[in-house]
């Protein structure tokens, strides 16, 4: 029966109308689409033909599991048939279906061999005997999404998308707290039980046939029954631990088309096959210091295993918390450490102290191995590259992606998608600023371990040359320097392609030291405390990335001009560094970062035809070189500094208007002087993001017409900026830091029609924000820091219908008033700290 169904479907695909031999096609785009569709159809037919052979070999035609898999396969093939028939060429649709067909094929191969093993995996439930830190998540999710969101048809955002899916993304930082435990708390909560007419928990979404009564039903019959059973009812379905590649189209279509149901998913990653708006994804947070300590005590005291003098002495609490800092809020690590200590035979305080000092995190890394193996294979190299950076630091988007490119890990055009994937796979967390990221400390340790195994990576410490030589040539190296005299020697350096210096202190090398790095692509000395940069740097002819940010370098060597392959030169935050007339010689430069530089001759940046990023260059230097700036046709981001009342901004803006690819512009004032009138900003048609950093006598009368992001820093405006800024019809992000000295802000009727994020900081005198009807109607995120007199905020918050996130640092009394306000009951994420 199964074989017959598959053969019938293959035959149907063969006769799908696609390209007619009797018809000629002149449209090249149409021809490309047809070729694409034809190739995808061929791929699907090939996979299904191979599956037919598997069915024959297995001789399990009447097996229950096989019948379900065949039914899933036929459904997926039907979707391909209809997509091709409509000539839909969306890569995402085909890729997800094709991956799902591949998954079905793998499961068929396993049938009969390790079916019991598959069941054991699906039945594995997280250990929830001792859990902390879930109360706030539980209350918020029930209030704002499970109950509060039901029946709404527009809460998902301005697209008015009627979403029934609530994603719950787990990650290694929440292992064991856990995502399944929180989902069970929601599922069994009295309010939820009372509210929903139907509830269902699916532990293994590989297969939605969860009852023996359904054994003889195929997928289509099951879908029809599901729809009938749920129609007109309020229902909650939990799909726990959803596999990454599962194809959900047929299941979602079976759900009744009403707004009384909720589908709650738990997973380690985001799924391209399931559309969930970001605001409906709840990412669990690592534990804070107090929660970590509570979980540690619960773990070691569980089951009264420790009695009398064997109990953990509270006098060692500071030492214990210090040890837990290495866990970085990771519940899995905290529990593992606790279990490790319980297994030891401890008789007194001194032994506890010795154990705390000798805790082995190797077993934790073994537990995290499963996370690494679940990564998309294309992300493995990116994950291992995280080993190059210091632990627990904030990473800038530019540095992360540029090192990937320089190291040949990712192509320049794929950086954005890889970065998004790392976030979705929970490898890195996004900080408050969307361009800053952080990695969990234990995941960082795992990245080091994997890089040592697979990338030829090694960490060396400057300990007077006593490093143990590697067994095989290394390609990537981190040198950690102490305050001792720099002493490091090896004959393996000629193989290095990337070299990172961490630490700081005494750094004095002979010219011959740099001769050995002839293959080096990446050299990074950020935050190293470097004062003198050697002339012999010009010998590194293969160098593509040079990181000198935040040092004490007083002068760059002239030999830098010899680096003909250099693509990134990062030398910002070296105060008053002298730059010789060499920049124009490095014609491969794509990104040039500098600030407060001294140039005895104007920098001839116009010669850099490939340049995409230039921050910062003085306004005088820029206007001096106007004749050559027409060559900067690829420039996308530009920072201009040292603007004051004497600056010729008319000439500046005319030159900028000719840069058709310029999307990001930063204008910075000259120390404590006022910036000039900026009314002519309106002629910059291509600019999308604008930052003005410096004192303004008043706001510009107009802005670039297509601006979506605006940041005002240290503007010291006396007049309320909101009435004018509210007229910017495309603005989505607004940040005001020390930008306004007044006491009141007024959002006019219909003001800020597209604004989604408002960030206000250091508005020391602000006391009141008034929001008129339909003002900031689409605001979803509000961040407020250091506005100590803003005590009427809750009234303004009540007018923001779609506000999902509120973060605030304020006084204790204001924090208490806002927390107690009924107006904030629908906000999903709140972090209000005094």
Calpha distance 370→363 (Å, rounded): 13
Mean pLDDT of the chain: 80
Residue whose tokens read 């606790």: 338
> Higher model confidence: residue 20 or residue 295?
295
Does 654 have pLDDT greater than 70? yes
What pLDDT is stored for residue 722 in this prediction? 97
Residue whose tokens read 């009342």: 645
Contacts 24+ apart (CB under 8 A), 571-577: 571/597, 572/615, 572/616, 573/549, 574/548, 574/549, 574/550, 577/553
Residue by residue, DSSP assigns 587-652 as TT-SEEE--SEE-SS---GGG-TT--EEEEEEHHHHHHTGGGGGG-TT--EEEEEEE-TTS-HHHH
What pLDDT is stored for residue 572 in this prediction? 94
Q: Which two tokens stand for residue 821?
A: 């306000």
> Higher model confidence: residue 433 or residue 571?
571
Mean pLDDT calculated for residue range 157-162: 28
Q: What are 586-627's pLDDT values in tens digits?
A: 989 999 999 888 888 888 888 888 999 999 999 988 887 776
> pLDDT band at residue 818, thresholds of 50, 70 and 90?
confident
Q: Which strands sit side by side in the sheet containing 281-283, from one edge to the other?
A: 198-202, 235-239, 261-267, 165-169, 281-283
Does 656 have pLDDT greater than 50? yes
Does 43 have pLDDT greater than 80? no
Mean pLDDT calculated for residue range 425-437: 80
Mean pLDDT calculated for residue range 658-677: 92
> pLDDT band at residue 123, thresholds of 50, 70 and 90?
very low
Q: Which of 251, 55, 35, 281 is nearest to 170 (CA)?
A: 281
Residue by residue, DSSP assigns 183-205 as HHHHHT-HHHHHH-SEEEEES-T
Q: What are 177-197's pLDDT values in tens digits?
A: 467 888 888 888 989 999 999
Residues 805/781, Cβ–Cβ less than 8 Å:
yes
Calpha distance 781→724 (Å, rounded): 21
Q: Which helix (H) or strand (E) holds 167?
A: strand 165-169
Q: What percent of the chain has pLDDT over 70?
A: 74
Q: What are 787-796's pLDDT values in tens digits?
A: 999 887 777 7
Calpha distance 213→759 (Å, rounded): 55
Angle separating helix axes 64-85 and 219-230, nearest 10 degrees: 80
Q: Which two tokens stand for residue 368?
A: 């995290």
Residues 319/366, Cβ–Cβ less than 8 Å:
no
β-strand partners of 202: 239
Calpha distance 834→821 (Å, rounded): 16
Q: Where are the alpha helices (DSSP H) in 330-440?
A: 331-342, 349-357, 362-374, 380-385, 397-406, 415-424
Mean pLDDT calculated for residue range 744-760: 95
> pLDDT band at residue 121, thresholds of 50, 70 and 90?
very low
Does 375 have pLDDT greater than 60? yes
Q: Which two tokens stand for residue 803?
A: 């506000």
What pLDDT is stored for residue 594 in this prediction? 94
Q: What are 707-730's pLDDT values in tens digits?
A: 999 999 999 999 999 999 999 999
Question: Picking from 401-405, 484-488, 657-661, 743-747, which range would have the lowest pLDDT averaged per residue?
Answer: 484-488
Residues 828/279, Cβ–Cβ less than 8 Å:
yes
Burial 643-668 (b: 16+ CB within 10 A, else e): bbeebebeebbebbbebeebbbbbbb
Mean pLDDT calculated for residue range 752-768: 95
Q: Which two tokens stand for residue 423?
A: 């976030």
What pLDDT is stored for residue 153 in this prediction? 30
Calpha distance 834→754 (Å, rounded): 30
N residues, the chain: 834
In angstroms, the first-to-last Cα distance of the chain is: 68
Does 562 have pLDDT greater than 80? yes
> pLDDT band at residue 556, thresholds of 50, 70 and 90?
very high
> pLDDT band at residue 263, thresholds of 50, 70 and 90?
confident
> pLDDT band at residue 168, thresholds of 50, 70 and 90?
low
Give the contacts of 464 (CB within 8 A, at least 6 positions apart).
Answer: 484, 485, 487
Instruction: Find the angle CA(245)-CA(265)-CA(822) to the nearest 5 degrees.
Output: 150
> pLDDT band at residue 758, thresholds of 50, 70 and 90?
very high
What pLDDT is stored for residue 568 in this prediction? 97
């Amino acid at each position: 029966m199964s074989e017959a169904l598959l053969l019938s479907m293959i035959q149907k695909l063969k006769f799908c109308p696609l390209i007619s031999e009797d018809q000629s096609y002149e449209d090249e785009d149409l021809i490309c689409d047809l070729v694409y569709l034809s190739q995808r159809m061929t791929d699907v037919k090939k996979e299904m033909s191979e599956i037919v052979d598997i069915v024959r070999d297995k001789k399990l035609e009447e097996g229950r599991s096989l019948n379900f898999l065949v039914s899933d396969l036929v459904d997926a093939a039907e979707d391909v048939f209809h997509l091709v028939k409509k000539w839909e060429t969306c890569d995402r649709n085909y890729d997800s279906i094709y991956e799902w067909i591949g998954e079905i094929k793998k499961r068929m191969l396993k049938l009969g061999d390790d079916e019991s093993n598959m069941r054991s995996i699906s039945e594995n439930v997280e250990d929830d005997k001792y859990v902390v830190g879930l109360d706030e998540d539980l209350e918020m999710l029930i209030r704002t999404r499970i109950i509060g969101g039901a029946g709404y048809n527009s809460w998902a955002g301005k697209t008015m998308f009627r979403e029934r899916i609530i994603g719950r993304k787990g990650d290694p930082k929440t292992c064991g707290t856990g995502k399944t435990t929180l989902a069970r708390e929601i599922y069994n909560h009295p309010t939820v039980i009372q509210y929903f007419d139907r509830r269902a928990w699916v532990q293994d979404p590989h297969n939605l046939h969860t009852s023996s009564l359904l054994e003889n039903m195929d997928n289509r019959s099951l879908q029809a029954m599901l729809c009938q059973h749920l129609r007109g009812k309020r229902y909650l379905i939990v799909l726990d631990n959803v596999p990454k590649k599962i194809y959900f189209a047929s299941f979602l279509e079976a759900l009744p088309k009403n707004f009384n149901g909720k589908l709650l998913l738990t997973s380690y990653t985001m799924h391209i096959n399931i559309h969930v708006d970001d605001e409906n994804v709840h990412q669990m947070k690592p534990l804070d210091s107090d929660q970590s300590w509570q979980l540690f005590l619960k773990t070691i005291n569980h089951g009264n295993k420790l009695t009398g003098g064997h109990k953990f002495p509270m006098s060692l609490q500071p030492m214990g918390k210090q040890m837990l800092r290495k866990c970085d809020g990771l519940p899995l690590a905290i529990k593992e450490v606790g279990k490790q200590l319980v297994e030891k035979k401890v008789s007194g305080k001194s032994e506890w102290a010795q154990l705390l000092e000798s805790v082995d995190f190797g077993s934790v890394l073994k537990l995290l191995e499963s996370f690494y193996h679940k990564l998309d294979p294309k992300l493995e190299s990116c994950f291992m590259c995280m080993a190059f950076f210091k632990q627990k630091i904030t990473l800038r988007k530019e540095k992360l992606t540029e090192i990937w490119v320089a190291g040949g890990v990712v192509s320049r055009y794929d950086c954005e998608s890889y970065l998004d994937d790392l976030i979705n796979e929970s490898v890195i967390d996004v900080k408050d600023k969307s361009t800053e990221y952080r990695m969990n400390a234990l995941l960082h340790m795992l990245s080091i371990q994997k890089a040592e195994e697979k990338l030829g990576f090694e960490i060396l410490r400057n300990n007077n040359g006593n490093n143990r030589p590697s067994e095989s040539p290394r390609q990537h190296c981190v040198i950690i320097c102490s305050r001792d005299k720099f002493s490091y020697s090896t004959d393996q350096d000629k193989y290095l392609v990337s070299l990172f210096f961490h630490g700081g202190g005494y750094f004095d090398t002979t010219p011959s030291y740099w001769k050995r790095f002839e293959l080096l692509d990446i050299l990074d000395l950020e935050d190293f405390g470097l004062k003198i940069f050697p002339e012999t740097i010009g010998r590194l002819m293969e160098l593509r990335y040079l990181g000198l940010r935040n040092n004490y370098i007083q002068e760059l060597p002239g030999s830098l001009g010899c680096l003909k392959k250099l693509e990134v030169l990062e030398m910002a935050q070296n105060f008053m560094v002298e730059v010789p007339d060499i920049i124009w010689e490095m014609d491969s430069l794509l990104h040039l970062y500098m600030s407060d530089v001294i140039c005895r001759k104007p920098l001839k940046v116009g010669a850099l035809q490939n340049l995409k990023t230039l921050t910062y260059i003085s306004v005088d230097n820029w206007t001096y070189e106007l004749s050559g700036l027409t060559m900067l046709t690829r420039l996308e981001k530009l920072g201009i500094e040292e603007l004051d009342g004497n600056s010729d901004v008319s000439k500046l803006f005319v030159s900028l208007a000719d840069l058709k690819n310029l999307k990001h512009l930063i204008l910075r004032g000259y120390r404590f002087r006022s910036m000039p009138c900026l009314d002519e900003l309106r002629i910059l048609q291509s600019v999308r993001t604008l930052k003005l950093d410096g004192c303004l006598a008043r706001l510009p009368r107009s802005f670039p017409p297509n601006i979506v992001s605006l940041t005002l820093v240290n503007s010291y405006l006396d007049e309320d900026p909101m009435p004018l800024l509210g007229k910017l019809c495309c603005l989505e992000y607004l940040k005001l830091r020390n930008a306004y000295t007044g006491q009141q802000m007024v959002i006019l009727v219909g003001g800020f029609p597209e604004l989604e994020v408002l960030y206000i900081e250091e508005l020391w005198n602000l006391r009141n924000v008034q929001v008129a009807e339909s003002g900031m109607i689409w605001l979803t995120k509000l961040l407020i820091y250091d506005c100590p007199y803003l005590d009427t905020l809750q009234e303004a918050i009540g007018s923001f219908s779609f506000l999902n996130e509120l973060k605030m640092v304020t006084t204790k009394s204001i924090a208490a008033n806002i927390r107690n306000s009924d107006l904030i009951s629908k906000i999903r994420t709140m972090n209000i700290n005094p």
